[in-house]
Amino acid sequence: MNVNEKNPFFQLSCNDEKKKAPLPPDPRNAVTIAISPRTLFNMVAESQIYQTEGVEKYIDYQVEHENEIMQPGDSMPFVKALMTVNARLRELYPESEELFDIVLMTNSHAQVGVRIINSINHYNLTIERFCMTGGQSPIGYLKAYNTNLYLSKDPEKVTEAIKQEIAAATMYSPDYERELSDSQLRVAFDGDAVLFSDESERVTKQGGLVRFFEHEKKNEDIPLGQGPLKGFLEALGKLQKKFYAKDERNDCPIRTFLVTARSASSSGARVIKTLRSWGLEIDEALFAAGAPKGPLLRKIKPHIFFDDQMFNIQGAKKMGTISAHVPYGISQNYSAHSLSPQSGQSYQQQQSGQSYQQQQTYQQPPGQTYQQQTGSTYQQQPFQQSYQAHLTQ
């Protein structure tokens, strides 16, 4: 605890700030980010009790410790950056409801809510909407809460959300903490199977790089389909334009990055033309041409980095980047040994000590299509949800 927090005058000042905390925006107009408590707070010890001793012991522990403030989790810097953007928007547009709205989404029981509320208030966060489902999956409520993005530590829940065409990702802790911007929200996206559909990745997996380059050249002027995070980038772009309208482009508190393994000259034009066809801008486009993304992310220092391939998530973690895995597209068929959000290791690594690259040797069975392997055509279809569609639901 900060020594100043023992000062009664400091406590009164904090209380005054909390009393003046702004109300959340109208969810019909907001960009809604749903997060789980395990991403917002460090709940490793609590999760261990739940897994080893059961739900009743977990509830008892949370109730007994409800006056103990939980430590920040992986999404805390991201959430604080969202609130910084909101503060800037309120300065420029005092009556506007186009803001970020944060919803706490959990399958925890209501009894544990007091500790969560106490911790949220301690960090002076504006999170007023909760969904606590008492042991049942909360995913069915995401659309009811008009969710634009869902972040969790539970890969199964994230996959369930993706199947419902809701932008979602599993958060992974960095190997070490880095200082992040407190004045600008910085979000980094992979391209294929994140912003865009997995069309091109399927070509690569099934025909190799030569076939991929031929395909991209042939289809350069045909926009790629939408990926799971396209709607979220669209929402960020909409808020950015509000700053541009006030001549704040050079001081905009939102900055977006495309960090793709594509080569610029061989396959980059289609990506840029696709974004242009959507009417979307990306602030910085970084084409790695197959090189590791970690060093680029170390320079960017994003509050969150989205990627569909666990190999890239692992590389980002090693560079101190808070990463979020998007379980979408054909690459999931080749990433069966995913990392554990808690341990940072894959199951096979934990059992045998193999590196992730050693695991990535799976080949598509001869004569078998992706649909035949999965029994589903879902992941071959581009996302249809957009920010505008969200606002009219």
**Coil, strand, or helix at residue 41?**
strand
H/E stretch holding 88 reads helix 76-92
Token pair 């060093």 in the structure block, residue? 295
H helix intervals, 245-322: 269-278, 294-300, 310-318
DSSP track, 173-236:
--SS-----SS-EEEEE-TBTTTB-SHHHHHHHHHHHHHHHHHHHHTTTSPPPB-TTHHHHHHH
Residue 305 backbone dihedrals phi, psi, to 5 degrees: -125, 125
Helices 55-64/44-53 angle, 10° precision: 140
CB 205 within 8 Å of CB 330: yes
Contact residues for 168 (Cβ-Cβ < 8 A; gap 6+): 149, 150, 151, 152, 157, 158, 161, 162, 228, 326
Looking only at the bridges linking them, the beta strands covering 323-325 and 168-172 are: antiparallel
Tokens of 222: 């045909």
Contact residues for 49 (Cβ-Cβ < 8 A; gap 6+): 57, 58, 61
190 assigned to active site? yes
Q: Is the dihedral of CA 385, 386, 389, 393 positive or negative?
A: positive
Q: Residue 56: how many CA atoms within 13 Å on its side-chain side?
A: 0
Contact residues for 195 (Cβ-Cβ < 8 A; gap 6+): 189, 227, 229, 230, 233, 258, 275
Q: Which residue out of 74, 154, 190, 308 is catalytically annotated?
A: 190
Rounded CA-CA distance 149/236 in Å is 11
| Residues assigned a catalytic role | 190
